[in-house]
A = this chain, B = another copy of it.
Amino acid sequence: MEQELKQFDVAQLAHVEIYTPVPEETVWFFKELLGMTEVEREGRSVYLRSYEDHYHHSLKVTERNEPGLGHVSWRASSKNALERRVKDLEKSGAGKGWIDGDLGHGAAYQFVTPDNHNMEILWDVDYYQCSDDKKSPLKSRPEKRPITGIPVRRIDHVNLMSSNVNRNKEHLMNDLGFKLREHVVKNDGDEIGAWLSVSPLVHELAYMEDATTSEQGLGRLHHLAFWYGFPQHLHDLSDVLTEHGIEIEAGPLKHGVSQALCMYVIEPGGNRIELFGDSGYLIFDPDWQPVKWNEDEVEQAIIHYGAPLPDSYFKYGTPNVKAPVKN
């Protein structure tokens, strides 16, 4: 039964920490253009959330000399589930140990992926409590929809660059119970990309091949995604970004993989942010067979319709390392 339970032990993506060399500009971007709420500041970090994120924060922005991923935080389905996952992480050697917590949550167990992306898993979280004047009559919404910018509704997923998609994917499946939903596979069997989830979402995490890494994983971030749910908001945001000098790298476009209607933006600190403009499709079939796209279907997998992706999409990540390109 423990094996049966594993696939349900991680409940969701709780929050992500990103680094930025220009915290004021990065925070301005998330607050003024994406309509996120600043919850708290401490040291070199600012804690932010979308208006339908329920916990203390879903985004932690930390000042650093280079942009990139701080860490990814997963919430377990229960205290027991957390213990089961920690046991497996310890066994596999990925585990690093417990921390007491951070603003917004209690004890968390830290681990590292084969590619050196820092992650943690936790149970104790603080719920966001807004002031009375910000309470929404929509009781399932923890705060009124902001009237600033084009406000994102919630955090959606993270996409990480990987020196070895297969190895990193296996780790998440074995230690954390993620399910493979879609993948793009080369003729030699290597995976170019893998989309994994613990819920009916197609992915809370994707791994994409990092053409510029050396053998040793570099822990780079491809993008962090926030969710709108409505296509018009991508158009609205595109208008706003263009008028405020923020680079739209690609989109609006629709992916074949995940059916995401989306766009990609480079925030002032250099990190790529995806905005998700519809719900994509949801997977309720408990016996879902991963969608496999072959090497000759890559284009179809990447673009169902809309803008082609620029070269930068396949090479640029943060930090923007100048490592030798493979092959």
Interface of A with B (CB < 8 Å)?
A: 1-2, 4-5, 8, 11-13, 32-33, 52, 54, 75-78, 80-81, 136-141, 144-145, 147-150, 153, 182, 199-202, 229-233, 235, 238-244, 248, 251-254, 256, 258-259, 261, 278-279, 281-282, 284-286, 291-293, 297, 300-301, 304-308
Contact = CB atoms under 8 A, between A and B. Distances in A.
Contacts of A80: 4
Given A147-B148, A286-B75, A239 B305 contact: yes
A75 B306 CA distance: 36
Nearest to A279: B279
Nearest to A80: B4
A71 to B, nearest CB: 19
Contact of A307 (B32, B137, B149, B307): B307
Contacts of A230: 230-232, 235, 278
A75 to B, nearest CB: 7
Contacts of A199: 199-200, 282, 284
A242 B137 contact: yes
A242 B305 contact: yes
A134 B8 CA distance: 35
Nearest to A33: B147
A28 B180 CA distance: 39
Contacts of A76: 286
Contacts of A240: 145, 147
A285 B138 contact: no
B306 A251 contact: yes
B256 A137 contact: yes
A34 to B, nearest CB: 10
Nearest to A250: B307
A239 B232 CA distance: 15
Given A305-B241, A305-B242, A284 B11 contact: yes
The winner among A200, A285, A305 for most chain B CB atoms within 10 A is A305
Contact of A285 (B11, B243, B256): B11
